[in-house]
Amino acid sequence: MGSEAIYPLLPLYLTRVLGAGAVSLGVIEGAAEAANSFLKILSGHFSDRWRVRKPIVIAGYSLSSAVRPLVALVATWPQLLAVRVADRVGKGIRGAPRDALLAAAATPSTRGRVFGFHRAMDHVGAMTGPLLASLFLFAFPGQYRWLFACTIVPGLVAVWLLFLVPEQRGGAAGPSAGTDAPAAHGSWRALPSRYYAVLVVVLVFTLGNSADAFLLLRLSDRGVAPAFIPLLWAALHVVKAATSMWGGVLSDRWGRRPIIGAGWMVYAVVYLGFATTSAAPGLIAWFLVYGLYFGLAEGTERALVADLAPPSLRGTSFGIFNAATGVGALAASLVFGLVWKAAGAAAAFAMGAALALLASVLLFVLVRETADGRPLTANG
């Protein structure tokens, strides 16, 4: 709630209040995602090595909750960059250990459901935050800084709730734990080659997966009023929340590859729609369809990582996975902003669609599955 009350307003705040442009937006969002990439690997590695997850997760959420309200104090886009980077550092610290905690709570046959449920709850919060932000802006037009300052409240509540989350002694054990003692120290070399094949394909897709802030900027440029941007962001998360668990359950039944591929195809079609549509109503429709991509692919990708990693290497595997997607997000956002400036928004969105189509093809070429359609796991 706290994070998403701010995020959909950042493009407007950056361009209309701070006076920056699309390239600055690309720098901020790309650097914010890349800054936490190295920390994702470290936090995942040390959560495996120390066999503890929860304290690292609490530290990451605490940092983000503390710095996020500082957006209310920034006066220039470099200051906004510093706050966003600090916020994403917190995300980098918490991400891999949190995903490892979720994997430990699942069995091989319920991983898609567990990660889908996690994403659904994330999107429910992301739906509620923008709704509250819109109500605030309708009551107090233009008071962005006060709105940003108020996000300290959900941040504090989130950190408090984390202390109620149980963690088994050792942190890396769970229903799906196995006997893989040689990998206990979190060495990336012990991860199977199938994991790295998946990583390469996901990285290709991520290179075309620019920050969602560009979609919001496109909507704003085509006449959508600032007060309605958070409402649209909330509506997008309604679609995400409604489809995330469904997508995870389908991946448990039909395998990860077809569900991820379907999600990436939806992404490609939506970006083509943004490249070819100029009217605001059409762009709004494409924006809502965009939520289906998340429902199908987001949780399923994480379930696939859990399938392929030994239990004692889950922190490391999620750290590398999240870091690779973070680096891809940096390149994607920087290039997207430059292409937007040089050739226009349509060319930038067309580029994203092309990379998504390429990744969809590579997913079926490079990622092998068993005869029943389910992905091969780390144990064969």
Residue 373 — pLDDT band, cuts 50, 70, 90?
very low
pLDDT computed for residue 156 by the predictor: 95
Q: How many angstroms separate the CA atoms of 371 and 380, rounded?
A: 12
Q: How many angstroms separate the CA atoms of 215 and 236, rounded?
A: 12
Evaluate whether 211 touches 260 at the Cβ level (below 8 Å). Answer: no
Q: How many angstroms separate the CA atoms of 162 and 149, rounded?
A: 22
Does the domain at residues 2-162+191-366 carry the CATH identifier 1.20.1250.20? yes
Residue that the structure tokens 């940092």 belong to: 63
Q: Does residue 285 carry a pLDDT above 80?
A: yes
Q: How many angstroms separate the CA atoms of 40 and 51, rounded?
A: 16
The contacts found for 174-178 with CB under 8 angstroms, 24 or more apart, are 174/103, 174/104, 174/105, 174/106, 174/311, 175/104, 175/105, 175/106, 175/107, 176/103, 176/104, 176/106, 176/107, 176/108, 176/111, 176/306, 176/311, 177/104, 177/311, 177/312, 178/310, 178/311, 178/379
Q: Of the spans 2-6, 263-267, 376-380, which averages the highest pLDDT?
A: 263-267
What Cα–Cα distance (Å) separates residue 120 from each residue in 199, 204, 266, 269, 293? 23, 25, 18, 23, 13
Q: How many angstroms separate the CA atoms of 362 and 131, rounded?
A: 38
DSSP state of 36: T
Kindly report which listed range (10-24, 264-278, 331-345) carries the lowest average pLDDT score: 10-24
Kindly report which listed range (130-134, 240-244, 293-297) carries the lowest average pLDDT score: 130-134
DSSP state of 75: -
Q: Which residue has the higher pLDDT, 172 or 32?
A: 32
| Two structure tokens written together for 269 | 């079609």
Residue 283 — pLDDT band, cuts 50, 70, 90?
very high
CA dihedral 337, 343, 349, 352 (to 10 degrees): -70
| Two structure tokens written together for 51 | 């066999």
Q: How many angstroms separate the CA atoms of 74 and 19, rounded?
A: 12
Q: Does residue 254 carry a pLDDT above 70?
A: yes
Q: How many angstroms separate the CA atoms of 217 and 15, rounded?
A: 9
pLDDT of 104-142, one tens digit each? 888 889 999 999 999 999 999 988 988 888 889 889 988
Q: How many angstroms separate the CA atoms of 23 and 16, rounded?
A: 14
pLDDT of 312-371, one tens digit each? 899 999 999 988 887 887 788 889 989 999 999 999 999 999 999 999 999 999 887 554
pLDDT of 187-210, one tens digit each? 677 788 889 999 999 999 999 998
Amino acid at 36: N
Q: Does residue 170 carry a pLDDT above 60?
A: no
pLDDT of 213-238, one tens digit each? 899 889 989 888 877 887 888 889 89
By CB atoms closer than 10 A (0-12, 13-18, 19+), residue 105 is middle
Residue 174 — pLDDT band, cuts 50, 70, 90?
very low
Q: What angle do CA 174, 186, 167 make, to 5 degrees?
A: 30
Q: What angle do CA 200, 204, 205 make, to 5 degrees?
A: 120
pLDDT computed for residue 34 by the predictor: 67
Q: Does residue 179 carry a pLDDT above 70?
A: no
Q: What is the mean pLDDT of residues 260-264?
A: 97
Residue 168 — pLDDT band, cuts 50, 70, 90?
low
Q: How many angstroms separate the CA atoms of 380 and 372, rounded?
A: 13
The whole-model pTM stands at 0.80
- Average pLDDT value for the chain: 86
By CB atoms closer than 10 A (0-12, 13-18, 19+), residue 281 is exposed
Residue 28 — pLDDT band, cuts 50, 70, 90?
confident
Single out the residue of 353, 366, 36, 41 nearest to residue 207, CA to CA: 353
Q: Does residue 183 carry a pLDDT above 50?
A: no
pLDDT of 58-105, one tens digit each? 999 999 999 999 999 998 888 988 998 899 889 889 999 999 998 988
